[in-house]
Chain A
Amino acid sequence: MNALIEQLSIPPQVTQMVGVVLLILILASLIGNIWSSVKPGALVDEILLRVKSWWFMTAIFLLALLIHPALTFISIGTLSFLAFRELFSIGTFQSYGRSAIFWAYLSIPIQYFFAYMGWLHAFLTFIPVFLFVWMAFWIIIQDQTEKVVVTLAVLPAMVILTVYGLSHMAFLLSLPQIEGFSASGKGLLFFLVFLTEINDVMQFIWGKVFGKTKILPQISPGKTVEGLLGGMISSIIIGISIRFLTPLSLWQVMLVSMVLSFTGFIGDVVMSAIKRNIGIKDTGKSIPGHGGILDRIDSLTLTSSVFFHLLYFMCYA
C-alpha cells in the first residue's frame, strides 16, 4: 500500500484526507440506514439516495485526483463540458449564435491545455479577452439582430460559469512549489472541493434543523439565514481543521473559508434563480437524488476562481 502511494506520489496529507472523507461517508451511510430502519420516510429515503450518489462522486473524484495528473485535467475538463452542455440544453436560444456556441465548446480543451502547461497569463486571458472577441465576431457575421442581445450577453456568462470558473480547479495543480508546503496542488484541490461541498451540506443541515428566517423566498424557499450563518461557522471550523492541505496561515484560512462559504451560497442561488426563471426544477438527471451535474457543482462554479485568486494573492504573488 505504501509503495503504491509512493508510486502515485500522493502527499501524506492527501492520504489522510481520503481517510477522513471515507469515514464521513461511512458514518453518513450508517446514520441514514439506522434512521430509515427506526423511522422510515420520504426525507430519509432522499438523503440515503444522495449519500449513495456521494459515494459514487467521491470515487470518481478520488480516481481522477490520484491516478495521474493528466487524468485530473481531463476529468475537470470533462466536467466543464458536461456542465456547459447542460446549461446550453436548458437555455432558450438554441437556434441563435450556433457558430459562437461551437467555439465555446472548442474553448474547453484549449483552456485546460493552458492550465496543464501552467501558462498563467494565457490561462487567465484566453477566455475573457480572445474567446469573447472571437464569439462576438461569429455572432455578428450572421447579420441578424434577432436575439443578438441575449446571445452576446448570455453566452459569455455561460462560459465564465462553466469553463472559466471551473478550470481554476485544474490550474491549482500547476501552481509552483512553495518551500515548506508539501501537500501540493492535489491538497489544494481537495481543500477547495471538500470545503465547498461540505459547506453545501452544512447549509442544508443547519437550514433543515434551525431554519426559520427565509432569505430569498422567491428564488430558493429552502435558503434561510440560520442555514447560511450555520454553514459559514461550520465551514470556518472545518477549514481550520483541514488547514494542513494548504499553505495558508490560521487567519488566512479562516478568511478564505468564510469567503468560500459565502461564495458557494451565491453560486448555489444564482443557479437556482436561473432554473426558476426558465421554469425547471433540476438542470438534468445525471446524478440520482441531486439532479443534474450543474445542480451539484453550482457552488463550485464560483468558489474555484475566488479560491484560486485569494490563494494566489496570499501565497504565490
Chain B
Amino acid sequence: MPGRIFLFLFHRFFLPLFLRMVLGVRFLGLENVQKLKNKQFFIAANHNSHMDTLCILSALTWKQYLNTKVVAAQDYFGGKGIRTKMISFFFRTLLIPRKRPENSLEPDPIEIVQVEIRKGHNIVFFPEGSRGVMEELAPFKMGIGYILKDFPKLEVLPVFADGLGFIFPKGSHWLLPHHARVKFGVGFQVDSRGPKEIRDEVEFRVKMLGNWKGKMRKTSED
C-alpha cells in the first residue's frame, strides 16, 4: 500500500509539475487519450529520449496509468539491481528481447506483448526500436505490424514528441529544461491490414502528427 501512495504522488503531482513547470513540456490533444476512459489502447510514439516515456505516462489518467505497460528492451532495462526495480515500478516496463528467437526455447518478443494486450493492458510502444539520432525520426521496424495484426479492433493512438531529445538526449548525462511538445493524435483501428501495411500506416500517422507549423527545428545544424 505505501508503494501505491508513492506511485500516486509520482504520477499525479511530481510528473506533471516537473514536466510542465520545470522542463517546459506542453501537451496537445490530451483529450484523445483521456476520453478513452476504460477502453483499451495501444500508443505508438516516436522515440528520442527517456523523457518520451515519462511524458506519455503523465498524460494518462491515474486509472489508465495503472493498467499501462511500457515496452522496453531487456538488455538495457533488465538486470537485478534496485535501479531495475525502481524503473519497472514507476515506468511500468514490460521487458522484451530486441531480437526474434532463433529456436523455440527463447521467448518471442512479439508474443510477450500480445499476451499483455490479451490480458487487457494498455501498451506504450516505440516502433523505431531505439532513441536513435537526436530529434530525427528513424524508419519504423516491422515489430509493430506483427503485434497489431492480431488485434484489428484495438484502438491505436499515434503520439509525436517534439523537442524532448533536446532535454535529455541519448548519450548525455545532463538533463536540461527546454521547450518541448507532446502531441496525441486521434485513435484508429488497423482492421484487416497486413503487418507491412500496419507498420506503414502507423509510421505515416506519427509522421503527419509531427508535421505541423512552428515545429522545433530538426537538428541543431543551421
Contacts and interface: CB of A to CB of B under 8 A. Distances in A.
Q: Do A and B come from one complex?
A: yes
A92 B222 contact: yes
Given A93-B220, A95-B134, A96-B220, A101 B174 contact: yes
A101 B169 contact: no
Interface residues of A, number: 16
B179 A89 contact: yes
Given A94-B166, A95-B134, A88 B178 contact: yes
B81 to A, nearest CB: 26
Interface string B166-180: 100100111111110
B176 A88 contact: yes
A86 B220 contact: no
A101 B222 CA distance: 20
Interface string B196-222: 000000000000000000001100101
A85 B166 CA distance: 12
Interface string B146-173: 0000000000000000010010010011
A95 to B, nearest CB: 5
A93 B221 CA distance: 8
B78 interface: no
Given A89-B163, A92-B222, A99 B179 contact: no
B128 to A, nearest CB: 19
A61 interface: no
Contacts of A165: none
Interface string B121-165: 000000000000010000000000000000000000000000100
A85 B174 contact: no
B24 interface: yes
A102 interface: yes
A158 to B, nearest CB: 13
Contacts of A105: 176-177
A98 interface: yes
Contact of B179 (A81, A86, A101, A102): A86
A99 B220 contact: no
A284 interface: yes
Nearest to B216: A89
Nearest to B217: A92
A85 B175 CA distance: 13
A105 B167 CA distance: 13
Interface in A73-90: 81, 85-86, 88-89
A103 B206 CA distance: 35
Given A93-B220, A96-B220, A102 B174 contact: yes
Q: DSSP majority for the A interface?
A: helix
Contacts of A284: 179
Given A95-B169, A98-B172, A99-B174, A89 B24 contact: yes
Given A94-B166, A95-B220, A96-B220, A85 B172 contact: no
Contacts of B172: 95, 98
Given A89-B24, A89-B163, A94 B178 contact: yes
B220 A85 contact: no
Contacts of A85: 24, 177-179
B163 A98 contact: no
A277 to B, nearest CB: 11
A274 to B, nearest CB: 14
Contacts of A94: 134, 166, 169, 178, 220
Nearest to B176: A101
Contacts of B173: 99
A134 to B, nearest CB: 14
23 contacts: A85-B24, A85-B177, A86-B179, A88-B176, A88-B178, A89-B163, A89-B166, A89-B216, A92-B220, A92-B222, A94-B178, A95-B134, A95-B166, A95-B169, A95-B220, A96-B220, A98-B172, A98-B174, A102-B174, A102-B175, A105-B176, A105-B177, A284-B179
The 4 A-B residue pairs with the shortest CB-CB distance in the complex, in nearest-first order: A89-B179, A94-B166, A98-B174, A102-B174
